[in-house]
Each structure stands twice: as structure tokens, then as C-alpha cells.
Structure 1
């Protein structure tokens, strides 16, 4: 009888625990839905209700920290993400991202760097930790370390558009034109049609004519944009960009549309860089140069240029895409390889 009583109590206790866990998961999942809808206060209420059932619920604690960060309540985000880190559970990686990002937003960027570095010691291949570390180093104007972190973020997740965008911004601060241009092209390939795509597409077009102005029909002013320092392996290509920009005003190009000139300029840059590559290896040559030169080699560069131009919603772009389905399909096949 005593054995049966003990067994019954044990079963009831187990059922109660499972019931509580189900209820916690239900509350947290509902909180996540509310967070995604922008109903942050209601989401927080759901997480707190879950924590009333189990104050040590890592799931609820992490989601609470994330929502507080989203709300801009960074002190609370720091408080709860630190608790998740101490718990050392399944949300440890995400907690380091929230803690570091929140500290950065509080103006404690050096402490944020320490958090990201600590997190990367545990998760060295984390795209988000490397990406946020890059942004923080950029804020601290440590562009060399920011570039390394952004590159590591891309290596960890090559299809993360924001990492390419961050790398472009970082090397632009170092005044390296080609290095800034290549990640922008890659970003637009991954994200061709969004509000930030349009902004950065315009930036690409502006960079292609940087330093060149037409005084009148016969005279063009050209300032060669080139960093000839020994550390810049793309200085020769930067000079060629300026020369090609001046060529747009040549008589042979006067009847060409801006899109046609953009296509030819892009092809020229990719071809020049491909010729420069030869036996060169490394991140910039392998991730960007080799792939973009292959666009030329496979005759996909024209479709690529129209594809990344979709954000401007121009009639010429839409017509070309509609009139060239086979070329667009070939580009899609190339990108999916």
C-alpha cells in the first residue's frame, strides 16, 4: 500500500511538471507571436506569466530579454540576458547577442566588444556575434578589426545580406573604393528589391562615376580615385573605374541609356578584376572577384545588372526582364549553384 501511494504521488508530480512545462511553452510562444506583431507590452506580460510558473525558465527569460531589447529597454535586456548566460542552457548563443547589442546601444561599446569576444570563444562560427562585433568595432572606429569581424560573419553565413552591407560600409570608411563596391554588388544580388536595396543601388551607381564631372559637351573633369598604398591590392582597379567613368561621356556612348552604360561599366570592372586575380587567393578574390568574373565568363552579367536594378522600378528594367526570361533563368541557375 505504501509503495502504491508513493508511486501515485510520483506520477501526479510528473504530470504536474509536464503540465507546467506545456503551459510555459504556450505562454512564451504566444509572447513571441505578440512580439512579432509589435505588441511588445503584451508579449512581456506573457513572458512574466510564464516566469510566475517557473522563475528559472530559460526560454521565457531569453525571450523577455530579446523583447526588452526590441523595445529599447536595454537595461532590462542586459539584466535578463545575463541571467540566461548564467543558466548556460540552450539559448546561450542568442543571449550573448542580446547582451552585447544592448550594451552597445547603452553606449558601453567596449564592454560590448568583451561580451562578443567571450561569446565567440564559445561560438566561433557565429554569424550574428561576428556581425555585431563588426558593427561595434566600426562605431569605435577600429576599422581593421571591424573588417576582420565582418569577413568572419560572411564566412559563417555568406547569404546574410547585412554582413556584406556592413563590410562595404567599413571599408568605405577606409577609403577603399573597390573593396566597398564589391560587397554592395553582392548585397544587391542577395537582396535586390527592398527599400535599403534602392538606397545602396544608387550608391553603387554614384561610386561608378565618382570623381568624374562633365563641364560641357567637349570637356570632362576627372579626378583619379585611387589609393595607391601598398596595402591596397585593388588600387589599379580603382584607377580603371575612374577611367571608365570618364568614357561614359565619349561620343560613342552618347546615345546609350544609363542602364546600358551601367551594364558595360559593371562588365568592365568584373573583367579587369578577373584579369588581376591570376593566382591570387583569399577572401576578396575568392568570394567576390572570382564569382563576379564568372558572371562575365558565363555571359550572365547583363541579366545580373538588370536583376539588381529592380529596386528603382524603372520601365526600362521591367521591360528588359520581361523580354528576356531565358537570360533571367540562366542567372537564377547561376546564383543557385
Structure 2
């Protein structure tokens, strides 16, 4: 799964910087200089962006926005030590850019493999700025790189609460759940991510991961024979996900029978997702269970509002499954219904 992590980690600084820089400052000249630097950076012309921002610092000495943008472009060129050296003095100053400096410097340590130092700096930054969504998200990414899924889940759940519309938080949570062996929460997080992902480059990979997740627990042992692998709860405490996990495995078994041999792949996937979501309705919510409190209601909404079918065809269409693109072309009205439901949902 590293391709997911790398994409998410590398995307953060650019996205964060662009949004903040364009909003910063009321001086028209300063705003224009920031906008031109952003344009150069967004075009991948990092050397020119650095030179431009350094020129701007001649007019606005010590301006944290220009210093941050220089550091960001250095980061984007892989000049991580220069990035750290340029940004580090601003950790001793206050201001709205300070969380971004923490995150960017820690990301430099992450990029050079110094995960321990990155985690230490993220922790320090989060003590000062406990609700900063970028710090939370990137700290979660680094914890995943360090194979610390429990810590990653905590950070990414906080990131999703702080910024509910941020799709990558849901994607990285799915990865963290998978690392922990939490199959159903991972299923729910992938569903939530894919509902938001649109044309993001990671969407097809996430769809493939969800497709694979649905098939876990069913092992083909012969031409027409299968073996079910069902885990038994290890403790007496009720597991709110056990029914859904069982339904996921049984759903894969059902569509492998002769009775389903002539059904389309789309019909099979709609049935399988629906079975898992229906089983969630029979589960009790554990207090402070993020996936059950946030993701499960969204999945139930898809089924209750009769838009699970267009959801399945849209999110799995990048996998090249037979008939999916044709279905999308012929059912634009159903896709509009799905979009109406998605637009109403503002929770993580």
C-alpha cells in the first residue's frame, strides 16, 4: 500500500500552501507577488518560484508567507535539508503560519526516512495546535509509514473531524484500518472516500482495494468449490462489526454459486455491498467508535435512499468491469440522484 501513502503525503504541502497564500495579506503588490509565485510553483517551475519569492523578500523582509513558499518549493525539489534550514527559525515565532512550518519540516524528516524525528516534531506541533487538520493528517501519514496503525487511526480520525470534506483523510484511515486488521471499518472508510474522490488519481487504486476487501474470507479450492474462512471473536465482548464481516464473506460465497452465474458483475457488487450495509444495521454502536458513528450512517444512507446502485457503478467503473461504462452512459438520471444525496452529507 505504499503508493497510497506517498501520494497523500506529497500532496499535502502544495494544497495547504496554495490555499493559505492566496488568502493572505491585503497589500495588492504582496498579494500579486504571492499569486505569481503560486503560479510558478503549481506549474512545477520550482527554481523560478524560489528565485521569485526571494526577490519578494527584498520588498517584504522576513515575511513568513514568502519564507514558507520558498521552503515548500525546496521540499518539492527534494532539497529537504535546505527546506529545513530555511523554515526552522520560524518555529521560534508565533503566527498563523507556524503550524504549516511544523508540518513542512516534519515532512522533510519523513521524506528522508527519519520517522522518529518527524513524529517528535509532529507531536510538538500538535501540543501547540491540537486541532490543525494538516498537522493531524500528515502526522497520521508518518505514523502509517512507521507501521503504527493505532496512533495513525487516532490522528486521522481527528483530522477527519477537523476537516470533514477532506477525502484523503478517509483514504488513509482505510489504510490504517487495514493495517490493524479491521476489515469492516476499512470497507466503510473506502466507501466514504470513494464517494468524495471524484477523479483523484488514487480513486482507481482505492476501488481495487475495496473490491479485494470484499473477496477476503473466500478461498477457491477447486473448479467449483470454495472454502469459507470465518474468524471467531477472540473475546466475550460484543463486536459490532462481526455480523457485517460475516455478511461480507457470505456475500462473496453467494455470488459464486450457479444461481448467480448469469448475473452481471454490477448486480453482484450491488448485492454484496448491500448485504454488508444491511448487517451494519443490526449492530450496536460502541461509544467513541469513529467508523460506526460516522461512516456506517453514510453507508446506510446510500442504501436507504436507493442510490447504492449508481454508487457501485460509478466507483468501480475505473476497474474496467464489463458493462459498467455502458450502465453509466444509460443512467445519467440515477447518477444525478446519487449526487443529490452526496451533496447533503457534510459529516466525515
TM-score range, shorter chain: 0.7 to 0.9
- Equivalent residue number for residue 320 of structure 1: 327
Residue 205 (structure 1) aligns with: 211
Deviation at 1:237?
2.2
| Cα distance in 2 between the residues matched to 1:285 and 1:187 | 15
What residue is the counterpart of 2:4 in the other structure?
none
5 Å matches for 1:1-337?
25-216=31-222, 218-224=224-230, 228=234, 230=237, 233-277=240-284, 282-312=289-319, 314=321, 316-337=323-344
| Aligned partner of residue 275 in structure 1, secondary structure | coil
Runs of 5+ unmatched residues, structure 1 = 1-20
Cα distance in 1 for partners of 2:157, 2:285 equals 22
TM-aligned CA deviation for residue 78 of structure 1: 1.2
The corresponding residue for 1:4 is: none
- Name the Cα RMSD after superposition: 2.3
Q: Give the 3-state SS of the residue equivalent to 1:213 in structure 2.
A: strand
Which whole-Å CA distance do the structure 2 matches of 1:111 and 1:206 have between them?
Answer: 35
Q: 1:262 to 1:152 in 2, by over 3 A?
A: same
Deviation larger for 186-195 or 279-288 = 279-288
Tell me, yes or no, if the aligned pair for 1:274 and 1:290 is still in contact at 8 Å: no
Moved more, 158-167 or 311-320: 311-320
Larger Rg: 1
- Counterpart CA distance in 1 for 2:163 and 2:98 is 19
SS at match of 1:310: helix
Contact 2:192 2:298 (C-alpha < 8 Å) held by counterparts: no
- Alignment: residue pair count: 317
Question: Which secondary structure does the structure 1 equivalent of 2:281 belong to?
Answer: helix
